[in-house]
Amino acid sequence: MSAREEVLRRVRYALGGTRGAHPPVPRGYARRLTGAEAETRADVIALFTERVADNRAAVRHVGADEAGTAVAAALWAREAKQIVVPADLPFGWLAELDGVRALADTPALDIDALAAVDGAVTGCALAVAQTGTVVLDGGRAQGRRALTLVPGFHLCVVRADQIVGTVPEAVTRLDPARPLTWISGPSATHGIELRRVEGVHGPHQLEILVVDD
């Protein structure tokens, strides 16, 4: 018997007759926010705003008719000259741009072109209040994953009705077969000296516009 066969024999023995079975997964964790955390729908949105700020991302609330002006103002504030957007981004979000060139990612831009822009503007699939997270799945107004990983600045527009309370709520609404990206603040890591470094695995600046109902 070879070493490989011996290892596999031991694995099979350790697994016993139940191999292939799926043991029950405990589901005792909270699936929804408690009343103490968020009693009303407005409280859920307020909690999301608070947690986004805790994650070191900028966040601002705007009305539906102010989205285009708010996107333009956010880009002007960062002196952006050229941005990249998904080809199906709502036109109204870019209608007020003046002096900022928007490149549609179709055909797909190469990495050098993405790295050269001043930022990206996208929507999202949904957002999680408890963790201050936005989730992208490559759907409408979101584009491919590289759009939000390569540029140094990401402006994400979140409709208030896309905000759910908890991660379990979010998981039930998402398709696990899609390319899910969970974003909780700017990309950051801690080195061996425990020094926080932002922008290593994605944008070092994240701004979220919450479009209120």
Q: How confident is the model at residue 18 (pLDDT cuts 50, 70, 90)?
A: low
Question: Is the per-residue pLDDT at 201 higher than 90?
Answer: no
**Tokens 């960062």 belong to residue:** 78
Residue closest to 140 by CA, chosen among 98, 168, 178, 113: 178
Name the pTM for this structure. 0.85
Neighbours of 84 (CB within 10 A): 26
Residue closest to 44 by CA, chosen among 34, 58, 53: 34
Residue closest to 182 by CA, chosen among 109, 126, 108, 144: 126
Residue closest to 84 by CA, chosen among 107, 56, 62, 59: 107
Q: Catalogue the E-assigned strands of the chain.
A: 58-62, 82-85, 101-104, 120-122, 126-128, 133-136, 153-159, 163-164, 181-183, 188-190, 196-198, 205-211
Collapse the DSSP code of 28 into the 3-class scheme (helix H, G, I; strand E, B; otherwise coil) and give the result. Answer: coil
Q: How confident is the model at residue 19 (pLDDT cuts 50, 70, 90)?
A: low
Per-residue model confidence as pLDDT tens digits over 57-112: 999 999 999 999 999 999 999 999 999 999 999 999 999 999 999 999 999 999 99
Neighbours of 196 (CB within 10 A): 9
